[in-house]
Amino acid sequence: MVNVGIVGIGLVGSELVSQLLRSSCSQSFKVVGLTTSQKMVVSDAEYKPLSITKEDNLRSTVNATGINTDLTQFVDYLSKSKEHSIIVDCTASGEVANLYPSWLRAGLSVVTPNKKAFSSSIELFKEIQDLAVNTSKTKHGRTPLIYHETTVGAGLPVLSTLTDMIKTGDEIIKIEGIVSGTLSYLFNNFSTLSSTATPKPFSEMVNVAKELGYTEPDPRDDLNGMDVARKVTICGRLAGVELDLSTLPVENIVPEALQSIKSTDEFMSKLPEFDEHFSKLNSEALSEGQVLRYVGLVDVQGGQSGVKLAKYPASHPFASLQGSDNMIKFTTKNCPNGVIIQGAGAGAAVTAYGIFTDLLKVQERVEGF
């Protein structure tokens, strides 16, 4: 069996434990450590599975029964096991992401949905790639491994498809995608060629998305495009393009006058003042038989990578996207018409599923089938 220690027991971390408990593959993993930002619990010297029931509120249980969180101690415990250990980072912390090299050096495999380690410093990205045997060009062996499928598209097989294309010698021409569930929902509903759809003000669409829980607590954290930019950066780097957030062109669709407003409530109250601006953009697109979509682009050969609000004709797959789905299109030498991946790209259940599939990849490589 493989040991699993989870850093960050929030919605995704708790859902992951729930999926591990009810899966037919549950006998392949032992959850031996859990942390919140405040407390942590670890098993005993024999690394027996923690006693967890499906009904447990894990976060509350750990905070009530654990000791103060010490990630150095947590990693030390996992690394001393005779069985292989995987540490799962379910946080969005840059500070935690900076620890990945030390975890890999300690022999731990790392699985994570945390985008920070792969989209921030290019030096950190390269160091991590060099230390994990499945991404290193020089290291050999079975472990340690790094998997982060869920950093782009949650449970969708985006990065694994990209990696397979590259490993098999295909030539990546470009990667384009709608990779924000929030912005997908907003523009799929705001900008549509359907004759039965009643146009709604953009501010109203943002408010509905916020109430449905699709947006961050402050919708500007979605509308500024940085989440999409991180995903573009990750795909670009894996495709061999050294993209950097500091130089990547990103269109912030938050009206400039509202970007520096401190409170979310004030932003939401003033957003209707700019409905005419968004309505004009939409009307122009519709008059041309096109729709607006917020997309990320990795332009491997043309050097025009970036994130922007763009227009697409009805014939383009992005124009027919519905709900809050993600859609990613790979254009390659072998597949000049493109390979499209579509589906739910956000949510605790699908993200935990994606993490679980990465855990299985590690377990199968370490122990066999």
Active site residues: 231
Query: What's the one-letter identity of residue 351?
Result: T
Query: Of 51, 39, 50, 52, which is closest to residue 8 (Cα–Cα)?
Result: 39
* φ, ψ (nearest 5 deg) of residue 40: -145, 155
Residue 109 to residue 106: CA distance in whole angstroms: 9
| DSSP sequence for 235-252 | HHHHTT----TTTS-B--
Task: Round to the nearest angstrom and report the end-to-end CA distance of the chain.
Answer: 12
* φ, ψ (nearest 5 deg) of residue 254: -70, 125
Query: Of 242, 15, 216, 252, which is closest to residue 126 (Cα–Cα)?
Result: 242
| DSSP sequence for 24-36 | TTGGGEEEEEEE-
Q: How far is CA 11 from the centre of its chain?
A: 14
Cα separations (Å) of 336 from 159, 172, 240? 19, 10, 19
* φ, ψ (nearest 5 deg) of residue 116: -60, -40
